Structure 1
Amino acid sequence: MTGKPRHIGVAERRVRLGLRQRLVGAARARTPEEVADSLVALHGTDPATVYLAVGARLTDARTTVARVERALYEDRSLVRMHGMRNTVFVFPTGLAAVVHASTALDIAAKTRAGLVKDMAAGSDGRLTGPWLAEVETSTLAALARRGQATVNELTGDEPRLREQFVYAPGKSYEAVQTVSSRLMRLLGIEGRVVRGRPLGSWTSSQFRWAVAPPHPPLPPAEARVRLLDRWLTACGPATEADLKWWTGWKVTDVRRALAAAGAVTVSLDDGVTAYVAAGDEGPV
């Protein structure tokens, strides 16, 4: 785009969000999958927020709980997994590979190295990286046999999950940790397991685990471009700071993805520079 960037004021931004995030009557969705696809991701750290986000955007909110549960646990058209900022979200299953490659690979490598280091330091060297690899292979095999399982059920199949170690020995925040909790979280960040049905109602924060649906590996740079383009379409215009916060990426990664996606510069109120997806700079 040449010349002066187009100005998008507050009123137009509200219209864009209302339509694209399905908050106005004419734009409401028929299914939870349509909601997730429009928003890119549904924040899922608190289980109830997923249902509230969907219910607020459906044409008929009365069936929200049943339909979200079916999408998550029966049809598997939605998946709950670690994503941006190492936070749990619910995504369309088809977006899992993009989210994993664009946001989780670096975090996963650091998390694994941290766990191996903590285990060795807190067990006098008894719990090692090769030992952990054996335990995780056995755990994943048990989980595949069961389909879904709680941590307690998995420890029955793989007793080494009960092993404990001292976290930060000698520090004021020293604590005893169990291999199972750290390992399952690591496998989630690595995209190898996902959270399944909760143990209680739809508001419960205790989940079963399931093997993650397979997806092809993607080059991280390509995945970042695809994720950024999707989010700009749903939430743009957005500033570099907005994108850095939402993705958890480095500023350099944000800038490279903006350039590769061909994002278009626009101006906001007070002269702030922001970006919209290529071809999306026109009025709504």
Structure 2
Amino acid sequence: MGESRKAETASRARTRTATGTTGTPRAIGAAERRARLGVRHRLAGGARAGSVEEVAESLVALHGTDPASVFLAVGARLAGTAGPVEDVERALYQDRSLVRMHGMRHTVFVLPAALAPAVQASTTDPAAVRERASLLQHLAAGSDYDAAWLAETERLVLAELAARGEATGTELGGAVPALRSTYVYGKGTRQEGVQSVASRVLRVLGMEGRIVRGRPQGGWTSSRFRWTRPTGPRPGESPAAGRAELIGRWLRACGPATEADLKWWTGWKVTDVRAALAAVGAVTVALDEGAGFVLPDDLDPVDPGSAGGEPWAALLPALDSTAMGWQARDWYLDPEYRAALYDRSGNIGPTVWWDGRIVGGWAQRPDGEIVTRLLADVGAAAGRAVDAEAERLAGWIGDVRVTPRFRTPLERESSG
């Protein structure tokens, strides 16, 4: 047996021992999972958060591919009717208690600054290695640029940011002519085309933690981010320790979950997922989908009727971390609704929730009106609660118009 196979077998054995699969695992049904979701994701009325940082901690990471989703996700979870814009911007750009970075599944997230070293070591560093290798491969195939040229271009970019303090990609391209260079992508294939190196060079530097995204040009829905140099030394953490920390936090927020859920959410190899589960002493439970995992101190039953005391409504944005939290979603999403709520790439649009289930979607019309469309008959009381959430959302969005980056059938139809 090879060394890698031995390590995998040992990891699985440690997990079995830690999870106590010699006995009958405790069953956690869909209703209890929805109760956990309502409280832990700050959606139930009595569980809503008092600060931006509390929301981020509760979700582990806010999906940040669409900048507006970060603000909408926080706003849906804060107590009261005030909007989150100023507080999110403070946390991101002044206090730096939250950071925006590439993370799980090669996706941009906004997460607590204290968690950034674990994400960097466990997830972003390996992805950055692949991203740099891919860029060099494409440059070699479609241009005369090599590793030395790339290193010099990066040096000039970092020097320019050190002098300026911050700059957009366009501004950096004006100051560093090499960033305006192009290469032929997919030479000899149907996908052949000319591409600029700027976005890819900046992405690699960002993934390696050598530059970070700052305040964008425009308002809170803008993706025209300024780039800046990080403050302080780059924190170091071992990949294994980072994976254990991230899995522990995720199970605390989202457990129980299956191995497949964890592999999908992290983007890791299954052997890394299993080793991290063993490291945190994850305990096996029985789910409708099969074996799931929770932390060893998280086995106490949760009453499905205890999620904040009353049923709750929420309007969550496209790509919300709750809606995209698990690979298997039937316990909170009727499969019949998928066609209306997802685009062809699997990105979920804005959703309407009632007491732990997705029951419809919402959109903003050109005149600013927030409109909802229910796909399930949830009754008059639920309808009134959904309307109240739509009114609350419209109140703090004000004159801003929000169009999701990835548009779905229901959102397009409802937006008019």
Common fold, TM-score beyond 0.5? Answer: yes
Question: Which residue of structure 2 aligns with residue 210 of structure 1?
Answer: 228
| Structure 1 CA distance for aligned equivalents of residues 295 and 35 of structure 2 | 16
- What is aligned with 1:157? 175
The correspondence for 1:143, drawn from 156, 161, 167, is 161
Q: Is the Cα contact below 8 Å between 1:82 and 1:191 reproduced in 2?
A: no
Q: Distance in 2 between matches of 1:95 and 1:155?
A: 32
C-alpha deviations, 1:62-90, integer Å up to 9, x for none?
23111111111111111111000000000
Alpha-carbon distance in 2 for matches of 1:276, 1:145: 48
Aligned sequence identity (%): 61
1:283 Cα deviation after fit:
1.9
Q: 1:45-194 maps to which residues of 2 (within 5 A)?
A: 45-123=65-143, 126-194=144-212
Which of 231, 238, 254 aligns to 1:235? It is 254
Give the counterpart letter for 1:261 in structure 2. Answer: V
Indicate the SS of the match to 1:279: coil
| Whole-Å separation in 1 of the counterparts to 2:115 and 2:79 | 24
Gaps spanning 5+ residues in structure 1: where? none
Give 3-state SS (helix, strand or coil) of 2:83's partner. helix
CA–CA distance in structure 2, aligned partners of residues 45 and 152 of structure 1: 20
Over alpha carbons, which structure has the higher Rg? 2
Does residue 1:27 correspond to 2:25, yes or no? no
Which runs of no fewer than 5 residues in structure 2 stay unpaired? 1-18, 303-416
Higher helix share: 1
Q: Deviations over 1:86-106 (max 9, x none)?
A: 000000111111111111122
C-alpha distance in 2 between matches for 1:223 and 1:212:
20
CA distance in 1, matches of 2:44, 2:222: 30
Distance 1:238 1:273 in 2: 8
Which has the higher mean CA deviation after the structures are superposed, 168-177 or 39-48?
A: 168-177
Verify: 1:245 aligned to 2:267, yes or no.
no
CA RMSD, Structure 1 to Structure 2 (Å): 1.4
Work out whether residues 209 and 234 of structure 2, in 8 Å CA contact, stay in contact via their aligned partners in 1.
no
Residue 57 (structure 2) aligns with:
37
Check if 1:220 corresponds to 2:239: yes
Matches of 2:126 and 2:173, distance apart in 1: 28
Deviation at 1:161, TM superposition (A): 1.0
**Residue pair 1:265, 1:275 contacting (<8 A) in 2 also:** yes
What SS does structure 1 have at the residue aligned with 2:284? Answer: strand
- Could you tell me which of 18, 21, 29 is aligned with 1:9? 29
CA–CA distance in 1 between the matches of 2:154 and 2:296?
Answer: 43
